[in-house]
Amino acid sequence: MKMIDLNCDMGEGFGVYSLGDDAAMLDIVTSANIACGFHAGDPLVMAQTLALAKARGVGCGAHPSFMDLWGFGRRPIHGQSPADIEKQLIYQIGALQALAHAQGLRLGHVKTHGSLGNMANEDIDLARAVARAIKVVDPGLIFVVMPGLPTERAGEEAGLKVAREIYADRAYAANGNLASRKLPGAVLHDAEAAAARILDILDSGAVASLEGPRIPVRADTICVHGDTADAVAMARAVRTRLTAAGYVLQPMANWL
């Protein structure tokens, strides 16, 4: 049996502002990465997203970031020590964990957001700080990582379960990290093409980079971002292709 998880970043509204169609996405994906208040989300949004996921049997995880509401967590923030960032992550994961506990839910995973994730994928000290934060909050949490990069190494060193992730809607740089959103072609919008690309990656064990070379990857979970206009259509196309190819979609925490 070929198991796979389909995840989406969500709960990314704040106050009166909303972003993405979380309700529609939760009818498609199997795991939700929920913003924890630093790049988006507030206690009400976080609690509502948890409730929507619970009602649909979707696995819930924390999606912590740099403290950057203004920049949606997508601005690189330098000058903070890994120890300081570790404490910020403990704070964010713990906040969502408490809100989940209040609804009888248990968080299953942690996935870093935006620039924090990109930087941790290139900095082993930062990656280790993320792994330490996850482990001290709950060593049973799954660390969502990019294959072949420092986050994978840090998760394995810490003895955490890791879920290796590939992206349906993002292009890759030659080093295996995500290509900068500033580059042409870094964000993919054609749902059917993205879905076909995912099957090619899973079948071949490699993904083409923007520069050309193919990068070897393993995958336990596939991400579709929820903050683009075509996000729901892309998630639906990916799920349809995966099901047709014989994959069974279940939350990562159910089988990893």
pLDDT tens for residues 173-232?
Answer: 999 988 888 888 888 888 899 999 999 999 999 998 888 789 999 999 999 987 777 889
The predicted pLDDT at position 166 comes to 95
AA letter at 179: A
117: domain range? 2-255
The predicted pLDDT at position 180 comes to 86
The predicted pLDDT at position 185 comes to 83
pTM to 2 decimal places: 0.95
Q: What's the rounded Cα separation, in Å, for the pair 105 and 179?
A: 35
3-state class (DSSP) for residue 249? strand
Q: What's the rounded Cα separation, in Å, for the pair 98 and 4?
A: 28
The predicted pLDDT at position 77 comes to 94
Task: Judge whether 45 and 14 are in contact, CB under 8 Å.
Answer: yes
* Residue 6: its H or E element: strand 2-10
* Domain at 208, CATH number: 3.20.20.370
- What are the E-state strand segments in 135-243? 142-145, 162-167, 206-208, 214-216, 221-223
Residues of the chain with pLDDT under 50: none
The predicted pLDDT at position 187 comes to 85
Place of tokens 């506990």: 101
How many structural domains is the chain composed of? Answer: 1
The predicted pLDDT at position 229 comes to 75
Q: What's the rounded Cα separation, in Å, for the pair 67 and 79?
A: 13
The predicted pLDDT at position 230 comes to 83
